[in-house]
C-alpha cells in the first residue's frame, strides 16, 4: 500500500532561488520560499544579501554576497553532485559581476537539464507619480538586456523596466503588445508586464498587468496567448510583492504550463488575498487615523497560507 501511495506522488521539483534575505519581514527569498514550499516545491536558497530588515525601514544592517562567494557556494553544490534544478528564480541584484555569475550558473544548469526554466524578476526601477527612476546602478541595464533576458524563460518586468530595455515609452495597448513580442524575440517564452500605465477599463482604482506566452510547436508554427489582468489597487506601499508575484507565477505556470490565463488568475488572486489581509491587519495595529509603518505593513504571509495554496479566484484575466 505504501508503495502504491509513493508511486502516485508527484515527481520532486526543485528551485534554486538567488535573492536577498532579511532576518525580519518578507522580501526576496523570505517572500518566495514559503509560498513555493506550500505549493509543493523544494527550494534551495542563495542569499545575495543578508540584512536585518528591508531598506524601507529607518535603519538596516547586514552583509552583501559577492560574485566569488556565490561561485564558491555553487562549487560546493557541484562537488556533491546536487546541482540539478528544474527552476532558477532571481530577483533584486545591485552588482554587475554578481549578475554575470548568475548567468554563468544558469547556462551551466541548462546544459545539465535542457528543460530547466529560468524565471527572472528584473528589479531595476519603477515609476513614482508618473516619473520613472532606476534604483540599481545604470550599468546593470546592458547586463540584463544582453546577457540575462536571452537566457531567461519567464520574465516579469514592470512597464518602466520593459521600456528601459527597449529604449521606448508605450502608452497604448497595441504598443505594449508589440513590446511583449520584442521581448519574446530576445529569448523568453513567457513575458508578464506586472504593472503598466494603461488606463484600466474598470477605472482608475485598478492596475493593469499584461501577459504573453509564446510556444513554438514541433512543426515550427507559433502559438501566442495574450492576456490582460485588472486588479484593485491597494492604498499602501508594500515591499516584497514583486518577489511573491514571481514565485507564485513560477508555481502556477508549472501547474498550468499551457494556460497563462489560469496561472495569472491564481497568482494575482492570491496576491490580492495577501495584500487585503496585510492592509487590514496594518490598520488595526496602527490604530484609528494613523498611517501604518514599515513593520506593520510586512506581508501577512503565514496567515495567508490557505489562500496561497488554493486561491479563490477573485481576479479574472481577459484573453486579448
Residues assigned a catalytic role: 243
Which residue, 159, 224, 169, is CA-closest to 192? 159
Q: Do the Cβ atoms of 307 and 298 come closer than 8 Å? A: no
Q: Residues in the chain, how many?
A: 320
In terms of DSSP H, where are the helices of the chain?
2-7, 28-38, 67-79, 96-112, 140-143, 149-151, 159-166, 173-186, 241-255, 260-286, 305-309
Q: What would the DSSP string read from start to end of 212-239?
A: EEEEE-TTS-EEEEEEEEEEE--SS--S
What's the DSSP call for residue 147? I
**Helix, strand or coil for residue 73?**
helix
All 3 cell numbers of residue 158?
A: 514592470
Q: Do the Cβ atoms of 20 and 92 come closer than 8 Å? A: yes
Find cell 495597448 and name the residue: 173
The 8 Å CB, 24+ separation contacts for 70-76 are 70/18, 70/46, 70/98, 70/101, 70/102, 70/105, 71/101, 73/46, 74/46, 74/105
Other Cβ atoms less than 10 A from the Cβ of 85: the count is: 24
What's the DSSP call for residue 292? P
Amino acid at each position: 500500500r505504501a508503495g502504491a501511495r509513493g508511486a502516485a506522488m508527484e515527481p520532486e521539483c526543485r528551485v534554486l532561488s538567488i535573492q536577498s534575505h532579511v532576518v525580519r519581514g518578507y522580501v526576496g527569498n523570505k517572500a518566495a520560499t514559503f509560498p513555493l514550499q506550500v505549493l509543493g516545491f523544494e527550494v534551495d536558497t542563495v542569499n545575495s544579501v543578508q540584512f536585518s530588515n528591508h531598506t524601507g525601514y529607518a535603519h538596516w544592517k547586514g552583509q552583501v554576497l559577492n560574485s566569488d562567494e556565490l561561485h564558491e557556494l555553487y562549487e560546493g553544490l557541484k562537488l556533491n553532485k546536487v546541482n540539478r534544478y528544474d527552476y532558477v528564480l532571481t530577483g533584486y541584484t545591485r552588482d554587475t559581476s554578481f549578475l554575470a555569475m548568475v548567468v554563468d550558473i544558469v547556462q551551466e544548469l541548462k546544459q545539465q537539464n535542457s528543460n530547466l526554466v529560468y524565471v527572472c524578476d528584473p528589479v531595476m526601477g519603477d515609476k513614482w507619480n508618473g516619473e520613472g527612476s532606476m534604483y540599481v546602478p545604470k550599468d546593470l541595464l546592458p547586463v540584463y538586456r544582453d546577457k540575462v533576458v536571452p537566457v531567461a524563460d519567464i520574465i516579469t518586468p514592470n512597464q518602466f523596466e520593459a521600456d528601459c530595455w527597449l529604449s521606448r515609452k508605450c502608452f497604448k495597448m497595441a504598443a505594449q503588445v508589440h513590446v511583449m513580442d520584442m521581448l519574446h524575440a530576445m529569448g523568453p517564452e513567457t513575458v508578464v508586464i506586472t504593472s503598466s500605465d494603461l488606463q484600466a477599463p474598470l477605472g482608475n482604482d485598478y492596475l493593469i498587468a499584461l501577459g504573453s506566452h509564446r510556444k513554438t510547436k514541433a512543426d515550427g508554427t507559433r502559438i501566442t496567448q495574450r492576456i490582460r489582468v485588472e486588479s484593485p489597487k491597494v492604498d499602501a506601499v508594500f515591499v516584497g510583492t514583486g518577489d511573491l508575484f514571481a514565485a507564485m507565477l513560477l508555481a502556477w505556470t508549472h501547474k498550468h504550463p499551457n494556460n497563462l490565463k489560469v496561472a495569472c488568475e491564481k497568482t494575482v488572486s492570491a496576491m490580492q488575498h495577501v495584500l487585503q489581509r496585510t492592509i487590514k491587519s496594518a490598520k488595526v495595529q496602527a490604530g484609528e487615523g494613523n498611517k501604518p509603518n514599515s513593520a506593520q505593513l510586512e506581508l501577512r504571509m503565514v496567515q495567508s497560507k490557505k489562500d496561497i495554496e488554493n486561491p479563490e479566484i477573485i481576479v479574472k484575466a481577459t484573453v486579448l
